[in-house]
C-alpha cells in the first residue's frame, strides 16, 4: 500500500483527537505514528463532519432569519421597548441622574422607537441611559425620581407619566417596566415607553368639553343622574339637588338611607304609577326614551313640576337594563304658564263667541256700506281710482271710460296708460306732480294739478286732478285720486280772463289818453299864466313865480307823460314783450340808481295774452325790487325753448331779501300773490327763493300755446 501524504496524516490525527477515536483502533498509533491510516476511515469521518456542518449552517440561517423577523417587530412597535440593567447604588437622586455621576444604569438594548420618542441618539443613551432626564419638566422631575427610587428599592413594577420639554415643545411620555432580579444582585428592567402627547391633549379637550357641558347644564338649570339599575346606585350632579332645594351632600345621604326607591318619597303619589309604567315601557324596548313630567316635593314643601328624560345605554348579557343616564329639569314656570294659558283660552273662547256675533253684525253693516260705496263710485261722473304702492290699479270707477274712452281693464293691464294719455305739452306738469307725491312725505295733505289728456278718440280734454296719499296705521297703501272733466270750466275761465285783460288794457289806455291829452294842455296853460306873471312890476315876486312855478309845472308835465306811457300798452302791442321790457329797463337804467341787465335769445312775438301777462309779471318784480329790495343790480333772462315749446323766465336781484315763507303764510305779499296768480293762469310753474340778506330769485316756466 502506498504511504498517504503527510497533510492527510495530520488531518486524520486531528480528527482522532477531536472525536476521541480509540488509540487502539487507530492505524496511526499501531504504525508507531508513521504507519498509514486507511483512507476509508478518514473519508467517512469527513463526510460525517460535512453533514453536521451543513446542518449547522442551515440552522444558523434559520436563526438569522428569525432574529431579523423579531428584530423588525421589536423596532417597529408604536411604543418604545427597552431593557435596563441596574447595579447597586446608594445614591438615587436627581443630581446624579442629570450629571451622570454614579449612574447605576446600563442600557442593554432598546428599539428604534425608544430613541425616537426621547428625541436622543442611540449612542448618547447607550453612554448615559438617564440622559433624557435633562429634558424632564421641572414639575415632573421630582415625581420621576421618587417613583424610580421606590421601584428599585422595593422591586415592584415602575409606572410613571410626565413631560419632556424638547426645543420648547412639550411631549407627554409614560414608562411601564417590570423588574427581574439576578443572582449577582443586579436587576433587569424590561419595559415599554409610550408617547401619550396626543392622548393627553385629547383628555384635556375632553375635560374642557366636560366642564363646558357642566357650565351649560348649570346655566340651563338641568340636573343629571347616572343610575345602575341592577345595583340601585345613583349619581347626581349638584343641579339635580339644587332644583329641589337640597345640597348634593344631603341628596347623597338620602340615597344612602332610602336606596334606589327613594325617588317615590319625593314624587307626588298621583304621578308614581304613571312614572313606573313609562319606565317599564322603556325597559321593555317599547319606548326608545324615558320621558315623563311629574310633580316632586321641594325641600320647602311645595310641589314642583319636573321633566325627567333618560335612556338605558348599557345592558347586561341577559338583556336587562344596566346603566341609565338622564336629565332632570324644573318646568314649573312652563306648567304654570300653560295653566294660565288654558284659563285664558277658555276666556278667549267665550270672547270669540261674543265677538263673532258682533263681527257678523258688523259684516252685514259693512256689506251694506260697501254696496252704498259701490253705488256712489260706480255712478259718479268723476273718475276715481286707487293706485297701490307697487303701481298697480287697486280700484277704478266705471266713469273712466266715459271720460277717457279707455276701459278699466285696459288701465289694470297697463297702469302706465295713466301717463301715456297725458297731452305731450303738459307731460312736464304731470311728471313734476308725480315727483312731488312719490314719497308721500305728507300723507295728510292733498295735491291738486290741472293738465290735459288725449282721449282714445283723439279729443283733448282738461282734467282737474286731486290726489292724496293713503296711510293707515303708519303704513303707506298708495294714492287715492279723483279726476274731473274741467274742459268747459277752463274754456270759460280763459274767456273771462281774456275779457278781463282786454277791459283792463282798454281802461289803462283810456286813462293814459286822458292824462296825456287832458292834464298836459292844462298844465301848459298854467305855465303860460306864470309867464305872464313875469310882467308884474315887483321884480322879486316875478322872479320867484317864474322859477318855482316853472319848475313845478315842468315836473308835472314830465311826470304825467311818463305815467301815460306806463299805464298804456301801445308799445307792448306794437313791438312785443322783448322790446317793450327792454325799453322799460333802459329808462330805469338812465337814472343811474340801479343796474338792470336784460338778456334774451329771441325777439319772436307771442300771443297778446301771454305777452301782456308776462309784461305785468316783469314790471311787478322790478317794482318790488325798487320799492323794498334796496338792490343795486338786477338780472333778467328770457329764453324761448323751441324744442319743448316753452318760455323760461329767470329774475334775480342782490337786495336785502326777505323771509318768503313768512310772507306767504301771512298773506302780506300782494305783489307775490299777483305774480303767482298770473303764472297759474298761464298754466306755468313758479319757483321763488329768498332769505334775509341773500337777495331774491325766481324761475318761471310757461308752456307756449300755438293758438
- Residues paired with 478 in a beta bridge: 470
pLDDT of residue 442: 58
Q: What is the pLDDT of residue 629?
A: 83
Can you tell me whether residue 524 is helix, strand or coil? helix
- Separation of alpha carbons 577 and 614, rounded Å: 8
Backbone torsion region of residue 495, taken as left when φ is above 0, otherwise alpha when ψ lies between -120 and 50, otherwise beta: alpha
Task: Kindly indicate the confidence band of residue 666, based on its pLDDT and cuts at 50, 70 and 90.
Answer: low
Q: Are strands 290-297 and 234-236 parallel, antiparallel or unpaired?
A: unpaired
Q: What pLDDT, on a 0 to 100 scale, did the predictor assign at position 27?
A: 47
30 — pLDDT class (breaks 50, 70, 90): very low
CA-CA distance, 209 to 212, in Å (whole number)? 5
pLDDT at position 247: 84
Retrieve residue 111's grid coordinates. 428599539
CA pair distance 293, 309, nearest whole angstrom:
9
User: Using an 8 Å Cβ cutoff, are 637 and 650 in contact?
Assistant: yes
Work out the average pLDDT over 19-46: 54
Provide the pLDDT for residue 333. 85
468 CB-side CA count, 13 A: 9
Pairing type for strands 646-653 and 685-690 reads unpaired
CA angle centred on 556, ends 552 and 557, rounded to 5° = 120
Residue 556 has pLDDT above 80, yes or no: no
pLDDT above 80: residue 421? yes
Instruction: Report which of 615, 695, 624 is spatially closest to residue 655, judged by C-alpha positions.
Output: 695
> If we measure between CA atoms, which residue out of 124, 110, 158, 163 comes closest to residue 140?
163
pLDDT at 14 over 90: no
Per-residue confidence band for 161, with pLDDT thresholds at 50, 70 and 90: very high
Dihedral Cα 551, 552, 556, 562, nearest 10 deg: 40
Residue 174, pLDDT above cutoff 90: yes
522: confidence class by pLDDT, cuts 50, 70, 90: very low
How many C-beta neighbours within 10 Å does residue 132 have?
Answer: 21
Query: Cα separation of 479 and 445, whole Å?
Result: 12
622-650 residues labelled b (16+ CB within 10 A) or e (exposed): bebbbeebebeebebebebeeeeebbbbb
Phi-psi group of 32: left, alpha or beta (phi > 0 → left; psi -120 to 50 → alpha; rest → beta): left
Tell me the mean pLDDT in the region 223-236.
Answer: 83
Q: What does pLDDT average to over the chain?
A: 78
Rounded Cα–Cα distance for residues 377 and 383 (Å): 9
Residues 577, 615: contact at Cβ < 8 Å? yes
> Please, are residues 157 and 178 in contact by the beta-carbon 8 Å criterion?
yes
Q: What are the φ and ψ backbone dihedral angles of 25, each rounded to 5 degrees?
A: -90, -5
To the nearest 10 degrees (0 to 180), the angle between helices 670-681 and 608-624 is 160
Please tell me the predicted confidence (pLDDT) of residue 259: 65
Q: Are strands 222-228 and 696-703 parallel, antiparallel or unpaired?
A: unpaired
97-111, 228-242, 301-315, 618-632 — which is least confidently predicted?
Answer: 97-111
Average pLDDT in the 616-626 region? 85
Residue 496: predicted pLDDT: 65
Distance CA(687)–CA(694), nearest Å, equals 16
Q: Read off the pLDDT band of 25 (50, 70, 90).
A: very low
Least confident of 328-332, 444-448, 489-493: 444-448
Give the HSE-up count for residue 140: Cα atoms under 13 Å, Cβ half-sphere: 17
Residue 615 near residue 569 (C-beta atoms within 8 A): yes
**pLDDT surpasses 50 at 525:** no
**Which burial class, exposed, middle or buried, applies to 400 when counting CB atoms under 10 A from its CB (0-12, 13-18, 19+)?**
buried
* Average pLDDT estimate for 277-302: 89
Number of alpha carbons in the 13 Å side-chain half-sphere of residue 648? 11
Report the pLDDT averaged over residues 116-134.
87
Higher pLDDT, 632 or 41: 632
Residues in the chain: 707
CA distance 625 to 587: 16
What was the pLDDT predicted at 162? Answer: 92
Confidence of residue 331 (pLDDT cuts 50, 70, 90): confident
Q: What is residue 609's predicted lDDT score, i.e. its pLDDT?
A: 82
Round to whole Å and give the CA distance between 583 and 628.
23
Q: How confident is the model at residue 558 (pLDDT cuts 50, 70, 90)?
A: low
The set of long-range contacts for 623-630, using a CB threshold of 8 Å and a minimum separation of 24, is 623/671, 624/671, 624/672, 625/594, 625/653, 625/655, 625/696, 626/588, 626/594, 628/655, 628/656, 628/658, 629/653, 629/655, 629/656, 629/657, 629/695, 629/696, 630/655, 630/656
Report the pLDDT value the prediction gives residue 11, as an integer from 0 to 100.
59
**Residue in 542, 522, 526, 544 with CA at minimum distance from that of residue 534:** 542
Taking residues 377-403, report their average pLDDT. 82
User: Looking at per-residue confidence, does 548 or 282 come out higher?
Assistant: 282
At which residue does the C-alpha cell 337594563 appear? Answer: 321
Concatenate the DSSP letters of all residues of 307-366 into one string: EEEEEEEEE-TTS-EEEEEEEEEE-HHHHHHHHHHHHHHHHHHHHHHHHHHHHHHHHHHH
Phi, psi of 486 (to 5 degrees): -115, 25
Segment 35-46 shows an average pLDDT of 66
Contacts of 102 (CB under 8 A, 6+ apart): 89, 91, 96
| CA end-to-end distance (rounded Å), the chain | 168
Comparison of pLDDT for 600 and 512, the residue scoring more: 600
Q: What is the predicted pLDDT for the residue at 26? A: 45
Kindly report, residue by residue over 460-497, the tens digit of the pLDDT.
999 889 888 887 777 888 888 888 888 887 887 777 66
pLDDT score at 267:
87
pLDDT band at 51 (very low <50, low <70, confident <90, very high): confident
255: which DSSP letter?
A: H
Amino acid at each position: 500500500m502506498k504511504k498517504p501524504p503527510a497533510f492527510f496524516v495530520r488531518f486524520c490525527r486531528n480528527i482522532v483527537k477531536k472525536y476521541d477515536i480509540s488509540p487502539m483502533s487507530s492505524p496511526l498509533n499501531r504504525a508507531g505514528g508513521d504507519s498509514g491510516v486507511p483512507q476509508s476511515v478518514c473519508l467517512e469521518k469527513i463526510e460525517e463532519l460535512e453533514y453536521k456542518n451543513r446542518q449547522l449552517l442551515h440552522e444558523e440561517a434559520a436563526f438569522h432569519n428569525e432574529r431579523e423577523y423579531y428584530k423588525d417587530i421589536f423596532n417597529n412597535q408604536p411604543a418604545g421597548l427597552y431593557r435596563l440593567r441596574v447595579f447597586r447604588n446608594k445614591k438615587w437622586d436627581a443630581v446624579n441622574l442629570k450629571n451622570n455621576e454614579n449612574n447605576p444604569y446600563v442600557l442593554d438594548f432598546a428599539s428604534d422607537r425608544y430613541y425616537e420618542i426621547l428625541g436622543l441618539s442611540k449612542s448618547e443613551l447607550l453612554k448615559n441611559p438617564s440622559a433624557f432626564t435633562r429634558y424632564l419638566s421641572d414639575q415632573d422631575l421630582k415625581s420621576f425620581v421618587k417613583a424610580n427610587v421606590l421601584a428599585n428599592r422595593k422591586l415592584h413594577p415602575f409606572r410613571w407619566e410626565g413631560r419632556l420639554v424638547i426645543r420648547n415643545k412639550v411631549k407627554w411620555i409614560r414608562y411601564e417596566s417590570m423588574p427581574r432580579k439576578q443572582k449577582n444582585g443586579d436587576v433587569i428592567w424590561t419595559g415599554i415607553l409610550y408617547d401619550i402627547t396626543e392622548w393627553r391633549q385629547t383628555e384635556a379637550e375632553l375635560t374642557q368639553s366636560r366642564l363646558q357641558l357642566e357650565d351649560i347644564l348649570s346655566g340651563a338649570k338641568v340636573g343629571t343622574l347616572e343610575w345602575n339599575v341592577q345595583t340601585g346606585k345613583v349619581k347626581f350632579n349638584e343641579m339635580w339637588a339644587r332644583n329641589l332645594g337640597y345640597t348634593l351632600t344631603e341628596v347623597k345621604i338620602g340615597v344612602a338611607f332610602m336606596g334606589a326607591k327613594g325617588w317615590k318619597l319625593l314624587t307626588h303619589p298621583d304621578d308614581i304609577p304613571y312614572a313606573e309604567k313609562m319606565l317599564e315601557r322603556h325597559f321593555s324596548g317599547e319606548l326608545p326614551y324615558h320621558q315623563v313630567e311629574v310633580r316632586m316635593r321641594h325641600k320647602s314643601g311645595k310641589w314642583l313640576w319636573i321633566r325627567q328624560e333618560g335612556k338605558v345605554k348599557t345592558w347586561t348579557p341577559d338583556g336587562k337594563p344596566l346603566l341609565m343616564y338622564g336629565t332632570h329639569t324644573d318646568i314649573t314656570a312652563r306648567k304654570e304658564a300653560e295653566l294660565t294659558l288654558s284659563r285664558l283660552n277658555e276666556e278667549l273662547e267665550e270672547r270669540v263667541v261674543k265677538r263673532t256675533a258682533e263681527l257678523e253684525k258688523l259684516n252685514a253693516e259693512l256689506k251694506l256700506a260697501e254696496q252704498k260705496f259701490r253705488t256712489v263710485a260706480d255712478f259718479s261722473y268723476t273718475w276715481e281710482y286707487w293706485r297701490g304702492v307697487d303701481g298697480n290699479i287697486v280700484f277704478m270707477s266705471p266713469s273712466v271710460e266715459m271720460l277717457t274712452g279707455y276701459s278699466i281693464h285696459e288701465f289694470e293691464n297697463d297702469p302706465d296708460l295713466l301717463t301715456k294719455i297725458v297731452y305731450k305739452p303738459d307731460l312736464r306738469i304731470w311728471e313734476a306732480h308725480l315727483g312731488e307725491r312719490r314719497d308721500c312725505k305728507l300723507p295728510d295733505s292733498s295735491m291738486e294739478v290741472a293738465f290735459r289728456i288725449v282721449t282714445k278718440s283723439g279729443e283733448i280734454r282738461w282734467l282737474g286732478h286731486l290726489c292724496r296719499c293713503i296711510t293707515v296705521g303708519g303704513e303707506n297703501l298708495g294714492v287715492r285720486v279723483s279726476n274731473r272733466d274741467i274742459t268747459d270750466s277752463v274754456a270759460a275761465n280763459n274767456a273771462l280772463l281774456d275779457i278781463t285783460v282786454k277791459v283792463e288794457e282798454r281802461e289803462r289806455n283810456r286813462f293814459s289818453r286822458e292824462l296825456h291829452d287832458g292834464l298836459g294842455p292844462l298844465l301848459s296853460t298854467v305855465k303860460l299864466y306864470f309867464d305872464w306873471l313875469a310882467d308884474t312890476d315887483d321884480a322879486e315876486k316875478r322872479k320867484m313865480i317864474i322859477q318855482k312855478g316853472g319848475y313845478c309845472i315842468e315836473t308835472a308835465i314830465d311826470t304825467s307823460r311818463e305815467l301815460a306811457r306806463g299805464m298804456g300798452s301801445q308799445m307792448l302791442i306794437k313791438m312785443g314783450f322783448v322790446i317793450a321790457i327792454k325799453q322799460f329797463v333802459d329808462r330805469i337804467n338812465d337814472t343811474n340808481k340801479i343796474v338792470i341787465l336784460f338778456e334774451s335769445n329771441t325777439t319772436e312775438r307771442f300771443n297778446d295774452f301771454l305777452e301782456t301777462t308776462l309784461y305785468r309779471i316783469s314790471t311787478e318784480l322790478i317794482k318790488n325790487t325798487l320799492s323794498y329790495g334796496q338792490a343795486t343790480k338786477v338780472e333778467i333772462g328770457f329764453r324761448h325753448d323751441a324744442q319743448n315749446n316753452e318760455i323760461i323766465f329767470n329774475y334775480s336781484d342782490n337786495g336785502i331779501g326777505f323771509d318768503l315763507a313768512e310772507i306767504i303764510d301771512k298773506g302780506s305779499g300782494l305783489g307775490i300773490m299777483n305774480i303767482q296768480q298770473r303764472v297759474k293762469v298761464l298754466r306755468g310753474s313758479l319757483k321763488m327763493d329768498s332769505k334775509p340778506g341773500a337777495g331774491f330769485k325766481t324761475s318761471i316756466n310757461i308752456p307756449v300755446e300755438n293758438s
